[in-house]
């Protein structure tokens, strides 16, 4: 294999793009004189079929084993010319390109200078191509199963698509039921579909689909491996209720000593539940769960004389001895669909969220309006005798969004529409209500959105342009201090209730997934996609995809579309059953490696491990590259003090000749 290099040099005219400024004949003559060059030609369009044919024929005729193409940027046609080499039976990695167009003929005017520079660039390419080595793209098999983390609408949709395609899905959900944020909504904009009505059929599907293994109330603890071969470890948390025996009758929750005393997470804290609970009536799986942080028996060891739930359960399903279960399985691809948290309105203290009971967030308002909520869908404030129906209701948009002071500069995308929807529902339930929405902009961009916004205004909801500065109480009413920017008048509007249009934020536990999967975050804290335009569901980690609001705020139609996109991307890998592994990856010279671990720490993809080998009778550590994980960045090679780990195609002994060629005075 180490025969003398026989180099073929091909200078492209690119029409007149190159030849107008670079003297291609002089360049070709120069190249022809360089060491080891057998053939040097120039041609009008090297990337065209006849151009490529020139190369292929020369390879056969002259036994060329290295090719230099001096033409456009390798980012344009490196793949093209690699295929040309492969078609001629030469390893495609014996190619080196000299960029004499984007970096030369297109940016320099003088023919003399441009040609001199082109000569330098070609000599550098010649210097490197001599030392290139044949590389082979390996293939690894893809396990025909997908792990989906999060079972909101995004996770559910992706799971159904993949399962329907015939592949196995492991759907892991942290909370006791699937459904996510969409199950907390009452009606959805702009169609006013009942959220639960359109969601629950999919929830049931996902629980009963033969290809879906649903693990609710479970958490992913560890993921190792690489695309096609992920090793996943999931902890199925103990519900302390036997899932086989529980019928979901609910007697236990009624009898629980703590009934109505624990703030319900599902109801965003404005309603209560028992220590043994079902998050919401349509929960799937419809199995009760005991909260280990609140249950008297679990925290104190005793619950009165005996736990009431045990007495009340006709199926004998309560099991305080139940333990967490760890399950392990393999997955070929992973979809992250972990969703969002809402902005904590307490971080805008000027709005009085922490001080006044009648200042609510949009999601709390959803629960209030929802017929499965704490008030059965009645919009009422206060308790018992003090209960009243608010008449003057205000919505404030952009709370915690587009706001440097809270650290969220981005727009949350859904608040304009959900405040319009909530305003409509308020008018629906309280026709005489006086509803106002304070806004900076109205973004009604989607299908049917503008029409809905129009309708809501025609129903009498007043839109006032101004960002309120403060909310305070005066004579029992909430006063909103705001400037109406369209009339330039300061206002002090008195209302009974304020709903804050809180924005969407990354989940507080977002870090867990980042640590599991080495994901990145964009500046707004949501998970980073591989490319904002062309790869919105991919991540930097191959085989790991994003769906839904974990990647950025979006509404239900966009979430479902993205979930389908993520499923499709996952299916590309699952259906082909194998995935090609990068060839220009790192390699360790075990003879000189001393196992210091520098490369292991540096590698952004944890693609290098320390293994023990036998060096002349001694057990020593050396580094070893996981070829499926290495992405070929080369940071390891630059950090290695002994030069033992090298990136193929960008080795020190391939780059140093380039430096030598370019360094000399021309």
Partner 1 sequence: MSENFEPNVVAFLCNWCSYAGADLAGTSRTEYPPNLNVIRVMCSGRVNPMFVVNALQQGADGILISGCHPGDCHYMEGNFFARRRFALMKELLDFVGVDQRRFNMSWVSASEGAKWKDVVGKVVHSLKEAGPFEEFPRNKIDW
Partner 2 sequence: MIDLEKLRDLARETISRDDVKYLIGWKPGTHGFRISPHFVSNPEETAELIFSPLCSNNLATYLTLTEKRPVPRGEQPDTRKVALMVKGCDSRAVLQQLTEQGITKDSVYVIGCPCEGVIDIKKVEGKYPGILDQVEARWENGKISLYLPSGKVEMARDDIVAEKCLTCRYPNPVIADVSLREEVEVKGNNTFDDVKKMEAKSTQEKWAFWQGKFNSCIRCYACRNVCPMCYCEECILDKTNPTWIQRSVNISENTSFQLARAFHLAGRCVECGECERVCPVNIPLSHLNRKLVKEVMDKFGFEPGVDPEAKPLLVGYRPNDKEDFIL
Q: Considering only residues 509-528, where is the footprint of partner 1 by CB under 8 A? A: 518, 520, 523
Closest distance between partner 2 and the C-beta of residue 598, in Å? 5
Q: Decide if residue 655 touches partner 1 (CB under 8 A).
A: yes
* Closer by beta carbon to partner 1, 263 or else 604: 604
Binding of partner 1 at residue 108 (CB under 8 A)?
yes
- Under DSSP, the state recorded for 552 is S
> Is residue 107 part of the contact set for partner 1 (CB under 8 A)?
yes
| Contact yes or no for 616/552 (Cβ under 8 A) | no
Q: Decide if residue 665 touches partner 2 (CB under 8 A).
A: no
Least distance (Å) between residue 133 CB and partner 1: 16
End-to-end Cα spacing for the chain: 34
Using an 8 Å Cβ cutoff, are 69 and 79 in contact? Answer: no
- Contact between 110 and partner 1 (CB under 8 A)? yes
CB of 628 to partner 2, least distance (A): 23
Q: Total residues at the site for partner 1 (CB under 8 A)?
A: 50
Q: Which long-range contacts (CB under 8 A, 24 or more apart) does 83-92 make?
A: 84/52, 84/55, 84/56, 85/55, 85/59, 87/52, 87/56, 88/55, 88/56, 88/59, 88/60, 89/59, 89/60, 90/59, 90/64, 90/65, 91/134, 91/135, 91/136
Q: Which residue has the tokens 């056969």?
A: 60
Q: What would the two tokens of residue 81 be?
A: 């010319």
- How near is the Cβ of 130 to partner 2 at its closest, in Å? 12
Question: In angstroms, rounded to a whole number, what is the distance separating the alpha carbons of residues 260 and 254?
Answer: 9
Footprint of partner 2 on 570-629 (CB under 8 A): 591-592, 594-598, 601-602, 615-619, 621
Complete DSSP assignment for 388-416? B--SEEEEEEEESSSBGGGTB-S--SSHH
Position among 102, 193, 221, 590 found at the interface with partner 1 (CB under 8 A)? 102
Q: Which of 630, 545, 524 is nearest to 587 (CA)?
A: 630
Question: Among residues 381 and 596, whose Cβ is nearest to partner 2?
Answer: 596
CA 41/CA 59 separation, integer angstroms: 13
* Residue closer to partner 1, measured from CB, 371 or 521: 521
488's contact among partner 2, partner 1, none, with CB below 5 to 8 A by partner kind, is none
CB of 173 to partner 2, least distance (A): 33
Q: Is 95 in the site for partner 1 (CB under 8 A)?
A: no
Backbone angles phi, psi at 154, to 5 degrees: -65, -50
Determine if 658 is a binding residue for partner 1 (CB under 8 A). Answer: yes
Shortest spacing between CB 131 and partner 1, in angstroms:
14
CA distance 61 to 53: 12
Residue 99 partner contact from partner 1, partner 2, none using kind-dependent CB cut-offs of 5 to 8 Å: partner 1
Binding site partner of 650, from partner 1, partner 2, none, Cβ cut-off 5-8 A by kind: partner 1
Residues numbered 397 to 426 that lie near partner 2 (CB under 8 A) are none
- From the CB of 624, what's the least distance to partner 2, in Å? 15
Select from 26, 34, 106, 198 the one that contacts partner 1 (CB under 8 A). 106
Residue ranges of alpha helices (H) inside 40-110 are 49-62, 74-87
* Interacting span for partner 1 (CB under 8 A) from 68-76, 251-259, 305-313, 571-579: 68-76
Q: What is the DSSP letter of 107?
A: T
Does the footprint of partner 2 cover residue 656 (CB under 8 A)? yes
256 Rama sector, left if φ>0, alpha if ψ -120 to 50, beta otherwise: beta
Count the residues of the shown chain that bind partner 2, applying the rule CB under 8 A: 24
Residue 598 binding target from partner 1, partner 2, none, CB below 5 to 8 Å by type: partner 2
For partner 2, give the closer residue by CB, 157 or 649. Answer: 649
Collect all residues with Cβ–Cβ distance below 8 Å to 26 and sequence separation of at least 6: 115, 119
**What are the start-end ranges of the E strands in 94-166?**
95-99, 139-141, 145-149
Least Å from the CB of residue 634 to partner 2:
15
Angle between helices 652-663 and 111-129 (to 10 degrees): 150
The C-alpha atoms of residue 103 and residue 118 are separated, in whole angstroms, by 9
Distance in angstroms (rounded) separating the CA atoms of residues 44 and 284: 66
Which residues ranging from 597 to 636 are in contact with partner 1 (CB under 8 A)? 602, 604-605, 631-635
CB 43 within 8 A of CB 12: yes
**Minimum distance from CB of 606 to partner 2 (Å)?**
13
Q: How far is the CB of 15 from partner 1 (least distance, A)?
A: 15
How, if at all, do strands 145-149 and 168-172 pair?
parallel
592 binds, among partner 1, partner 2, none (CB under 5 to 8 A by kind): partner 2
Region near partner 1 per CB under 8 A, out of 95-103, 220-228, 448-456, 463-471 = 95-103
Crossing angle, helix 415-429 and helix 362-369, to 10 degrees?
A: 30
Of the two residues 108 and 235, which places its CB atom closer to partner 1 in the complex? Answer: 108
Nearest to 348 by CA among 477, 473, 501: 501
CA distance 24 to 412: 55
639 binds partner 1 (CB under 8 A): yes
List residues near partner 1 by CB under 8 A: 73-76, 99, 101-104, 106-110, 113-114, 116-117, 120-121, 124, 518, 520, 523, 540, 584, 602, 604-605, 631-635, 637-639, 647, 650, 652, 655-656, 658-660, 662-666
Interface residues toward partner 2, by CB under 8 A: 591-592, 594-598, 601-602, 615-619, 621, 639, 641-643, 651-653, 656-657
């Amino acid at each position: 294999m180490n025969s003398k290099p026989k180099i073929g040099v091909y200078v492209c005219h690119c029409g007149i793009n190159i030849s107008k400024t670079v003297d291609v004949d002089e360049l070709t003559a120069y190249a022809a004189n360089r060491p080891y060059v057998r053939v040097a030609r120039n041609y009008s369009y090297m990337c065209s079929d006849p151009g490529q044919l020139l190369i292929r024929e020369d390879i056969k005729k002259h036994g060329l084993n290295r090719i230099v193409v001096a033409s456009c940027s390798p980012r344009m046609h490196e793949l093209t010319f690699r295929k040309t080499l492969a078609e001629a039976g030469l390893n495609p990695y014996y190619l080196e390109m000299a960029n004499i167009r984007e970096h030369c003929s297109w940016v320099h005017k003088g023919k003399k200078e441009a040609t001199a520079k082109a000569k330098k660039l070609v000599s550098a390419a010649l210097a490197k191509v001599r030392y290139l080595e044949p590389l082979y793209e390996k293939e690894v098999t893809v396990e025909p199963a997908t792990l989906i983390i999060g079972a909101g609408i995004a996770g559910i949709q992706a799971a159904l698509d993949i399962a329907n395609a015939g592949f196995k899905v492991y759907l892991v959900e942290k909370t006791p039921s699937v459904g996510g944020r969409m199950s907390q909504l009452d009606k959805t904009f702009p169609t006013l579909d009942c959220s639960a009505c359109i969601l629950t059929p999919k929830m049931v599907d996902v629980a009963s689909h033969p290809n879906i293994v649903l693990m609710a109330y479970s958490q992913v603890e560890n993921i190792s491996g690489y695309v096609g071969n992920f090793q996943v470890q999931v902890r199925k948390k103990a519900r302390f209720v036997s899932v086989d025996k529980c019928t979901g009758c609910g007697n236990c929750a009624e009898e629980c000593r703590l009934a109505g005393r624990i703030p319900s997470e599902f109801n965003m804290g404005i309603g209560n539940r028992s220590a043994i609970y079902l998050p919401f009536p349509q929960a799937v799986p419809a199995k009760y769960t005991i909260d280990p942080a609140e249950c008297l028996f679990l925290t104190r060891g005793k619950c009165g004389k005996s736990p009431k739930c045990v007495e009340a359960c006709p199926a004998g399903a309560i099991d305080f001895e139940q333990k967490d279960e760890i399950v392990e399985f393999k997955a070929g691809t992973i979809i992250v669909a972990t969703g969002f948290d809402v902005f904590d309105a307490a971080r805008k203290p000027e709005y009085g969220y922490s001080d006044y009971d009648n200042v609510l967030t949009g999601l709390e308002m959803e629960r209030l309006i929802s017929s499965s909520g704490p008030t059965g869908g009645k919009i009422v404030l206060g308790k018992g005798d003090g209960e009243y129906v608010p008449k003057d209701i205000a919505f404030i948009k952009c709370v915690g969004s587009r706001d440097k002071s809270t650290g969220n500069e981005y727009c949350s995308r859904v608040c304009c529409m959900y405040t319009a929807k909530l305003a409509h529902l308020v008018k629906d339930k309280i026709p005489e209500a006086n509803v106002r929405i304070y806004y900076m902009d109205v973004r009604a961009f989607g299908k049917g959105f503008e029409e809905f916004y129009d309708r809501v205004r025609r129903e009498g909801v007043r839109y006032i342009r101004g960002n309120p500065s403060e909310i305070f109480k005066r004579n029992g009413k909430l006063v909103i201090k705001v400037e109406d920017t369209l009339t330039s008048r300061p206002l002090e509007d008195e209302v009974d209730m304020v709903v804050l249009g809180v924005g969407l934020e990354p989940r507080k536990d977002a870090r867990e997934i980042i640590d599991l999967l080495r994901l990145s975050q964009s500046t707004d804290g949501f998970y980073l996609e591989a490319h904002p335009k062309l790869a919105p569901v991919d991540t930097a980690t191959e085989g790991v995809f994003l769906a839904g609001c974990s990647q950025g705020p979006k509404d239900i139609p966009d979430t479902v579309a993205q979930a389908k996109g993520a499923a499709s991307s996952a299916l590309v890998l699952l259906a082909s059953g194998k995935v090609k592994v990068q060839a220009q990856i790192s390699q360790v010279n075990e003879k000189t490696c001393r196992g210091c671990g520098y490369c292991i720490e540096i590698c952004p993809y944890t693609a290098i491990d320390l293994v023990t080998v036998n060096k002349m009778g001694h057990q020593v550590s050396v580094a070893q590259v996981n070829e499926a994980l290495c992405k070929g960045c080369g940071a390891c090679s630059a950090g290695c003090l002994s030069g033992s780990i090298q990136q193929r195609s960008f080795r020190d002994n391939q780059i140093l000749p380039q430096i030598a060629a370019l360094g000399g005075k021309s």
